[in-house]
Amino acid sequence: MVEKVIFEIGDVVKGTIEQIEEKQAIVSVGGKVDGILPLKEISNVHIEKVTDVLSVGEELELKVIKVEEDNLILSKRAVDAEKAWDVLQERFDNKVSIEVTVTEVVNGGLIADVGVRGFIPASLVSKNFVEDLSSYKGTTFEVLVEEIDREKNRVILSHKAVEIKETEVQRKAAFSSLTVGQIIEGKVERITNFGAFVNVGGVDGLVHVSQLSHKRVENPAEIVSVGDLVKVQIISIDEKTNRLALSMKSVQPGPWDELKEDVKVGAVVEGIVKRLTNFGAFVEIQTGLEGLVHISQISEKHIKNPKEALEVGQTVKVKVLDLKKEEKRLSLSIKEAQEAELKEDYSKYIQPQENAGFQLGELFGEKLKNFKTK
């Protein structure tokens, strides 16, 4: 004769699933009574069918929530919750992540079973904006406990916090592998009006607009596009502010490295006026190579401001007065270029004295009045 076991509400018992029905599971707990585990008492999150989470023969730890004459009403979620609160509190206190599976997508966020019902607000799903949360249903990922309140049965979780933490770990590892002066390949991630952000070794660094090219750049999009693979040199690292300064210009041949043969002292070349200042004009004579035309070298006439004689974008001829490649210094003269051109013009017409049948003044008129012999 089997002795009848006495159960009371609140008892925690071990049982084995003997049968699964549509809305409940029948559990053997010993003695003459059957244990009934209703669908709603299986989990702290919504499930459609018992078979979604349980199977025949599975052993469970269950709590008695009601005693009937021939049956015990049992709860798995009550036992899970008791255990979960202690674990969640410990994880919250020590900022340790836990792995969860998303069971529902609800208005404003996601639901995950962590022994109790855990809520992940939409703003804490990812560090990047997520437009459609439906793709997260059934996915498993790490979360941190952001907020816990046992009395209110409230648990707020964050996957975003885990992503940020992982990014910081990756950033520190990446920074430790980078050195100033290192040349490395990176991918253009973003373009702004002040430069381009390039990802190198898992961290983003800024290539300032002034470091994109040897030539003057007004819009970074003229030089690079998002997704481009580019070579950069690391010019500074600041781990405290997480700032990485990069240069594309420093790994490219500069105009001084590719100086054209005709650019030499005394040569007259063509250029474009790029900038005007109070003391002169900067003229580009080959891509990225600018020289200064001092205000005194702009015109034979006395001018108080370069704007009186020049405008940005104007094409002019200049004479190379001084060129120091080591110092990257170039001095130019528009005035002397004009004089050199004038000399060349009238030299074509000079004949031996016995054949001269005209005066130079007849050929050049006013030009000679302004000409000074160097």
Beta strands in the chain, from DSSP E residues, in sequence order: 12-20, 24-28, 34-38, 59-67, 71-75, 98-106, 109-113, 117-121, 140-149, 154-158, 183-192, 195-200, 203-208, 229-238, 243-247, 268-277, 280-286, 289-294, 315-324, 329-333
From the centroid of its chain, how far is CA 364?
Answer: 64
- Claim to verify: residue 236 and residue 270 sit in the same structural domain: no
- At 241 the pLDDT is 80
Query: Taking CA 142 as the corner, what is the angle to CA 76 and CA 78, rounded to the nearest 5 degrees?
Result: 15
Q: Does residue 209 belong to any structural domain of this protein? A: yes
Q: CATH code at 155?
A: 2.40.50.140
Enter the pTM of the model.
Answer: 0.51
- At 136 the pLDDT is 93
Q: Does residue 5 belong to any structural domain of this protein? A: no
Q: Does residue 173 belong to any structural domain of this protein? A: no
- Claim to verify: residue 367 and residue 263 sit in the same structural domain: yes
- At 155 the pLDDT is 95
Q: Is 224 helix (H, G, I), strand (E, B) or coil?
A: coil
Closest CA to 75 of 67, 33, 111: 67
| Tens-digit pLDDT string for the chain (374 aa) | 445 567 888 888 898 999 999 899 999 987 677 899 999 888 877 788 888 889 999 999 899 899 887 788 999 988 888 888 989 999 999 999 999 999 899 999 999 988 888 999 999 999 988 889 999 999 999 999 999 998 898 999 999 999 999 888 888 888 888 899 999 999 999 999 999 999 998 888 999 999 998 888 889 999 999 999 999 999 999 877 878 999 999 888 777 767 777 788 888 999 999 999 999 999 998 877 889 999 999 988 889 999 999 999 999 999 999 988 888 889 999 998 888 777 765 656 555 555 444 455 555 555 545 544 44
Q: Contact 256/227 with Cβ under 8 angstroms?
A: no
Q: Does residue 355 belong to any structural domain of this protein? A: no
- Claim to verify: residue 23 and residue 123 sit in the same structural domain: no
- At 215 the pLDDT is 80
- Claim to verify: residue 189 and residue 227 sit in the same structural domain: yes
CA distance to 199, 269, 289, per residue, from 272 (Å): 36, 10, 11
Q: Does residue 63 belong to any structural domain of this protein? A: yes
- Claim to verify: residue 159 and residue 51 sit in the same structural domain: no
**Radius of gyration of the chain, Cα coordinates, nearest whole angstrom:** 41
Q: Does residue 136 belong to any structural domain of this protein? A: yes
Number of domains in the chain: 4
Give CA–CA dist 374/372, Å, rounded: 6
- Claim to verify: residue 260 and residue 365 sit in the same structural domain: yes
Of 251, 286, 301, which residue constitutes the final position of a domain? 251
Give CA–CA dist 284/292, Å, rounded: 9
Q: Does residue 223 belong to any structural domain of this protein? A: yes
- Claim to verify: residue 240 and residue 267 sit in the same structural domain: no
- At 266 the pLDDT is 87
Q: Does residue 170 belong to any structural domain of this protein? A: no
- Claim to verify: residue 269 and residue 308 sit in the same structural domain: yes
Burial class (CB within 10 angstroms; exposed 0-12, middle 13-18, buried 19+) of 141: middle
- At 349 the pLDDT is 59
- Claim to verify: residue 137 and residue 115 sit in the same structural domain: yes
Domain span at residue 25 reads: 12-79
CB count in 10 Å sphere of residue 369: 8
Residue 312, both tokens? 């940005």
Closest CA to 318 of 274, 346, 366, 285: 285
Beta strands in 159-288, from DSSP E residues, in sequence order: 183-192, 195-200, 203-208, 229-238, 243-247, 268-277, 280-286
The residues, ordered by sequence, that sit 6+ positions from 186 with a Cβ below 8 Å of its Cβ are 198, 199, 200, 201, 205, 229, 230, 231, 232, 246
CA distance to 118, 158, 363, per residue, from 115 (Å): 8, 16, 104
Q: Is 184 helix (H, G, I), strand (E, B) or coil?
A: strand
- At 223 the pLDDT is 92
Of 136, 163, 190, which residue constitutes the final position of a domain? 163
DSSP 239-263: TTTTEEEEESGGGS--TTTT--TT-
Length of the chain measured in residues: 374
Of 196, 224, 251, which residue constitutes the final position of a domain? 251
Residue 143's H or E segment, with its range, is: strand 140-149
